Protein backbone atom coordinates (compact mmCIF):
# COMPACT_ATOMS: atom_id res chain seq x y z
CA UNK A 1 0.00 0.00 0.00
CA UNK A 2 1.31 3.45 -0.90
CA UNK A 3 1.85 5.99 1.83
CA UNK A 4 -0.37 9.06 1.82
CA UNK A 5 1.56 12.13 0.69
CA UNK A 6 1.51 15.17 2.95
CA UNK A 7 2.63 18.75 2.39
CA UNK A 8 3.56 20.55 5.61
CA UNK A 9 3.50 24.26 4.75
CA UNK A 10 5.00 26.38 7.53
CA UNK A 11 7.65 29.10 7.47
CA UNK A 12 8.96 27.91 10.84
CA UNK A 13 11.35 25.04 9.95
CA UNK A 14 11.23 23.56 13.47
CA UNK A 15 7.43 23.42 13.47
CA UNK A 16 7.36 21.92 9.98
CA UNK A 17 9.92 19.29 11.01
CA UNK A 18 7.92 18.42 14.14
CA UNK A 19 4.71 17.94 12.15
CA UNK A 20 6.56 15.93 9.48
CA UNK A 21 8.08 13.64 12.14
CA UNK A 22 4.68 12.98 13.72
CA UNK A 23 3.16 12.37 10.28
CA UNK A 24 5.97 10.00 9.26
CA UNK A 25 5.36 7.96 12.43
CA UNK A 26 1.70 7.67 11.36
CA UNK A 27 2.59 6.32 7.94
CA UNK A 28 2.58 9.49 5.84
CA UNK A 29 5.20 10.51 3.32
CA UNK A 30 5.69 14.16 4.36
CA UNK A 31 7.34 16.98 2.47
CA UNK A 32 8.09 20.25 4.26
CA UNK A 33 7.57 23.50 2.38
CA UNK A 34 8.66 26.79 3.97
CA UNK A 35 7.09 29.47 1.79
CA UNK A 36 3.95 30.19 -0.15
CA UNK A 37 5.97 30.59 -3.33
CA UNK A 38 7.50 27.11 -2.90
CA UNK A 39 4.02 25.69 -2.20
CA UNK A 40 2.65 27.19 -5.43
CA UNK A 41 5.59 25.73 -7.35
CA UNK A 42 4.97 22.25 -5.91
CA UNK A 43 1.24 22.59 -6.57
CA UNK A 44 2.07 23.05 -10.26
CA UNK A 45 3.78 19.64 -10.12
CA UNK A 46 1.51 17.55 -7.89
CA UNK A 47 -1.42 17.55 -5.49
CA UNK A 48 -0.74 15.76 -2.19
CA UNK A 49 -3.20 13.55 -0.33
CA UNK A 50 -3.24 15.86 2.74
CA UNK A 51 -2.01 19.37 3.57
CA UNK A 52 -1.09 20.88 6.93
CA UNK A 53 -0.82 24.64 6.42
CA UNK A 54 0.10 27.57 8.63
CA UNK A 55 -2.30 30.41 7.94
CA UNK A 56 0.41 33.09 7.99
CA UNK A 57 3.57 32.61 5.97
CA UNK A 58 6.19 35.22 5.25
CA UNK A 59 5.17 35.74 1.63
CA UNK A 60 1.53 34.54 1.43
CA UNK A 61 -1.31 33.65 3.72
CA UNK A 62 -3.41 30.50 3.65
CA UNK A 63 -6.32 32.26 1.96
CA UNK A 64 -4.10 33.07 -1.05
CA UNK A 65 -2.78 29.52 -1.13
CA UNK A 66 -6.24 28.00 -0.86
CA UNK A 67 -7.20 30.13 -3.88
CA UNK A 68 -4.30 28.54 -5.78
CA UNK A 69 -5.52 25.11 -4.71
CA UNK A 70 -8.98 25.92 -6.04
CA UNK A 71 -7.46 27.10 -9.35
CA UNK A 72 -5.52 23.82 -9.67
CA UNK A 73 -8.54 21.72 -8.65
CA UNK A 74 -6.41 20.33 -5.84
CA UNK A 75 -8.79 19.46 -3.01
CA UNK A 76 -7.12 17.25 -0.40
CA UNK A 77 -8.18 17.56 3.22
CA UNK A 78 -6.49 20.53 4.89
CA UNK A 79 -5.46 20.99 8.50
CA UNK A 80 -4.93 24.69 9.25
CA UNK A 81 -2.55 25.72 12.03
CA UNK A 82 -1.70 29.08 13.56
CA UNK A 83 -0.36 30.93 16.53
CA UNK A 84 -2.92 33.67 15.85
CA UNK A 85 -6.30 34.00 17.51
CA UNK A 86 -8.77 31.13 17.25
CA UNK A 87 -11.20 33.44 15.46
CA UNK A 88 -8.64 33.95 12.67
CA UNK A 89 -8.29 30.18 12.33
CA UNK A 90 -12.07 29.82 12.15
CA UNK A 91 -12.32 32.59 9.54
CA UNK A 92 -9.60 30.95 7.42
CA UNK A 93 -11.46 27.63 7.61
CA UNK A 94 -14.65 29.33 6.41
CA UNK A 95 -12.79 30.88 3.48
CA UNK A 96 -11.38 27.48 2.51
CA UNK A 97 -14.79 25.83 2.70
CA UNK A 98 -16.32 28.65 0.64
CA UNK A 99 -13.79 27.77 -2.08
CA UNK A 100 -15.01 24.16 -2.10
CA UNK A 101 -12.01 22.89 -0.14
CA UNK A 102 -12.15 20.40 2.73
CA UNK A 103 -10.81 21.97 5.91
CA UNK A 104 -10.83 18.98 8.19
CA UNK A 105 -9.41 20.63 11.31
CA UNK A 106 -7.92 23.82 12.76
CA UNK A 107 -5.16 23.60 15.35
CA UNK A 108 -3.77 26.43 17.47
CA UNK A 109 -0.04 26.65 18.12
CA UNK A 110 1.59 25.36 20.19
CA UNK A 111 0.24 22.10 18.83
CA UNK A 112 -0.55 19.27 21.22
CA UNK A 113 0.90 16.06 19.76
CA UNK A 114 -2.20 13.97 20.56
CA UNK A 115 -4.47 16.52 18.87
CA UNK A 116 -2.15 16.60 15.84
CA UNK A 117 -2.11 12.80 15.61
CA UNK A 118 -5.93 12.69 15.76
CA UNK A 119 -6.24 15.37 13.06
CA UNK A 120 -3.76 13.59 10.79
CA UNK A 121 -5.50 10.25 11.23
CA UNK A 122 -8.85 11.90 10.50
CA UNK A 123 -7.41 13.39 7.31
CA UNK A 124 -5.93 10.02 6.33
CA UNK A 125 -9.29 8.29 6.92
CA UNK A 126 -11.05 10.98 4.87
CA UNK A 127 -8.58 10.50 2.00
CA UNK A 128 -8.91 6.72 2.10
CA UNK A 129 -12.71 6.97 2.08
CA UNK A 130 -12.60 9.37 -0.87
CA UNK A 131 -10.32 6.98 -2.80
CA UNK A 132 -12.57 4.00 -1.95
CA UNK A 133 -15.65 5.92 -3.14
CA UNK A 134 -13.96 6.74 -6.46
CA UNK A 135 -12.72 3.19 -7.06
Instruction: Give the Cα-Cα-Cα angle 116, 68, 17 (nearest 5 degrees).
Output: 30
| Beta bridge mates, 81 | 54, 107
Please provide the average confidence, as pLDDT, over all residues in the chain.
93
Return the CATH fold of 4-134: Rossmann fold (3.40.50)
Q: Mean pLDDT, to the nearest integer, of 12-26?
A: 98
pLDDT > 90: what percent of the chain?
A: 85
103, 109, 111, 112: CA torsion to nearest 10: -110
How far apart (Å, rounded) are the C-alpha atoms in residues 132 and 128?
A: 6
Amino acid sequence: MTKATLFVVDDEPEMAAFIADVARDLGFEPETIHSGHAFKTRLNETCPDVIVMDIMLGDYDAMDLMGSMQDHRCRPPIILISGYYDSYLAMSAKVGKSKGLVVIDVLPKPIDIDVLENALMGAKDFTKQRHDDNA
